Amino acid sequence: MFTVRNALAAVAAALTLTACDPQQGPESQDPAQSPSSAIADAAQDAVNRGSTGKLDPLFDQAAGEFNVPADLLKAISFAETRWQMVRGEQEFEGMPAAFGVMALRGEALERGAALAGVSAEAVRTDALANIRAAAALLSAHADELKVDRADLGAWAPAVARLSGIENTDAQAEHVHKGVYATLRDGVVAEDADGKVIAAIMPTPVEAKFALPSLHALAAGPDYAGSIWRASPNYNARPAGTDIWMIVIHTCEGNYSGCWSWLTNSAAGASAHYVVNESGSEISQLVAESNRAWHVAASYSCSLNGSVNCGQNGVSVNHFSVGIEHGGFASQTSFPAGQIDASARLSCDISRDRGVVRDSYHIVAHGRLQPNNRTDPGPNWPWSSYISKVQSYCGTTTTGLIIDSNNANNDTTKGYIEVSANWASSTNVGGYYGSGYYVAPTQAVSDPATFWFHMPAAGTKTIDAWWTAATDRSTAAPFIITNASGTKLATVNVNQQANGGKWNALGTWSFPAGWNKVQVSRWAPTGFQVVADAVRVR
């Protein structure tokens, strides 16, 4: 495992503390404050790769051997793979799989291997061979482009050529916002013991390369937080098609190369959206109302004038929205910023298109197979992803639910408190969550308390859920008390009826803070009162 942090902060820490604990460094106090923390944050999780050894000596060796700047090699590698040894897969027809910390692919991988005098297999599997092949290739590009090797900014055209990206705007994005931004900001990756795996110290350098054109910066038609980069690779959804699914893909390459390829008509493939590695940028390529070719879209589709795509059968493309993500399926983890940005996007799509926010409707590309060895994707954080989508959008269950089992509660928002006289039960079916609390009625102050937190004052309706049975109280008291301790109401309910569903108790105004709903045992004796779940909406 290793972590990435901002280089400036690391330097500051190193200057003041010779043996500083990374946990105590100033950068760890509030990384969001750091101007370049987006990269560090994006990479924080993505680089948690157990077996990656020290990379700096390998970069230095290859840089010296082929007379290329070591920091440039490192920055290219960081932009491509976040310094991970990737085993790419072919995500798009016509785009060969990428390998190693430099993400070399196809003919470039073969040529680099030949230039470095190693086998293509070694370039795919061995970090040093991979870096040497990329360095040799970069050096060859520098010769072809007559780069002044002493001028770091002058290497930019060679960086663009090494990327394999054809679209000039995408080249500019990759060079300026990817590789050279990394050089300017610097970045440090450390292993669990705090030893440096790879480091780039900040360098004030500008790429001598055309800036991205500004015309592309209009927002996408369906998502205000996106940049519209229209792809020609789409067609109309069949008439009357509802959108049912959101399909999650990984680009098997970097963000700029991904949207660049998917906006190229030669690709014969597309997606509705591409999310970059740090989550700081999203491109929309196809309007959601149109059918993108992100699932098994092949050359034959576009070569046939796109007329037969999906006309002779049901295609997942018909009823889905596809989101690509800069990165690789073989990553051991994904950057938190990318997951977060993607979840916000999925929330927006699901809200606009009426897609159910669950793991049957928001699925991995691999899950479209009947079974997948790595289903649902080895390292995409599925459960937290769906939870994030729900937390941004809400579930169809509106409001906050406090269950009688605190394992099911987010106790920062709500929890239950009971005395030992309340028994946990699953004896009568129809309970909410994993069971309920029950206690015999008695003239005693021994309530079950559902606490719920209001971040701001507001008017809320309180619902209660119980299991109904013949031994229940017909006058079970629910006491509503606000955060300042004022009792707002007591509502008596008949728990012999209306079990297994939400029952409204009433609507009250609550102040900010911890308010509570209590189920009292103080009712005519000889019965049971049930505390199962409370909803605040």
Partner 1 sequence: MSQGLEPRRPWRGWARLCAALALLGAGCPASKCGRGAAGPGPLSEEERRAIPGVIAFISERATQKDVWLVKPAGEETQLTKSPEEDDFTSAPAPDGKALLVIATRTVDGLHLEQLRLQPLDGSAPVPLNAPRARARNASWSPDGQWFVAESDAQSFSDLVKIDPKAGMAEQRLTSVREGCFEPDVSPDGREIAFVSSREGDPEIYVMRSDGTDERRITAFHQEDREPRWSPDGKWLTFISNREGRDRYFLVRPDGTQLRAVSGGATKLDERQLVWSPDSQKVAFVERLSDGKSRIWVARVEGGEPVALTDGKSRDDEPAWSPDGKYLVFVAERNGDTDLWLMRADGSGQTRLTTAKGADWLPRWFVPR
Which residues contact partner 1 (rule: CB under 8 A)?
50, 242, 244, 293, 295-298, 300-301, 304, 308-310, 312-316, 319, 332, 356-361, 368-371, 373, 378-379, 383, 386-387, 395-397, 401, 403, 407-408, 420, 423-435, 438, 465, 469-471, 500, 528
Q: How far is the CB of 373 from partner 1 (least distance, A)?
A: 5
* Residue number with CB closer to partner 1 (328 or 465): 465
Other Cβ atoms within 10 Å of 12 Cβ, number: 15
* Residue number with CB closer to partner 1 (298 or 498): 298
Q: How far is the CB of 435 from partner 1 (least distance, A)?
A: 6
The helix/strand/coil state of 290 is strand
Dist CA 148 CA 156 (whole Å): 11
Q: How far is the CB of 54 from partner 1 (least distance, A)?
A: 19
- In the block, tokens 């993607």 appear at 342
* Residue number with CB closer to partner 1 (209 or 466): 466
Please give the structure tokens belonging to residue 2.
């290793």
Dist CA 201 CA 379 (whole Å): 30
Handedness of CA 502, 506, 512, 513 (dihedral sign): negative
The helix/strand/coil state of 240 is coil
Closest listed residue to residue 77, CA positions, set 182, 225, 156, 233: 182
* Residue number with CB closer to partner 1 (60 or 93): 93
Q: How far is the CB of 378 from partner 1 (least distance, A)?
A: 6
* Residue number with CB closer to partner 1 (199 or 349): 349
Please confirm whether the linkage preceding 477 is cis (ω < 30° from 0): no
Q: How far is the CB of 241 from partner 1 (least distance, A)?
A: 11
Please give the structure tokens belonging to residue 282.
């999203």
* Residue number with CB closer to partner 1 (313 or 485): 313
Helices (H), 221-322: 255-262, 299-303
Q: How far is the CB of 368 from partner 1 (least distance, A)?
A: 6
* Residue number with CB closer to partner 1 (89 or 143): 89
Q: How far is the CB of 361 from partner 1 (least distance, A)?
A: 7
Dist CA 307 CA 292 (whole Å): 14
Q: Are 436 and 532 in contact (CB under 8 A)?
A: yes
* Residue number with CB closer to partner 1 (435 or 477): 435
Helices (H), 47-186: 56-66, 70-81, 106-116, 120-125, 127-144, 156-163, 168-172, 181-185
* Residue number with CB closer to partner 1 (255 or 465): 465
* Residue number with CB closer to partner 1 (109 or 428): 428
* Residue number with CB closer to partner 1 (34 or 250): 250
Dist CA 239 CA 291 (whole Å): 11
Other Cβ atoms within 10 Å of 514 Cβ, number: 15
Q: How far is the CB of 336 from partner 1 (least distance, A)?
A: 16
Annotate 355-416 with three-state secondary structure: CCCCCCCEEEHHHHCCCCCCCCCCCCCHHHHHHHHHHHHCCCCCCEEEECCHHHCCCCCEEE
Q: Are 74 and 62 in contact (CB under 8 A)?
A: no
Q: How far is the CB of 313 from partner 1 (least distance, A)?
A: 5
Q: How far is the CB of 300 from partner 1 (least distance, A)?
A: 6
Please give the structure tokens belonging to residue 174.
């990759």
Q: How far is the CB of 398 from partner 1 (least distance, A)?
A: 10
Amino acid at position 145, single letter: L
Q: Are 477 and 523 in contact (CB under 8 A)?
A: yes
Query: Which residues is 461 bridged to in the sheet?
Result: 507
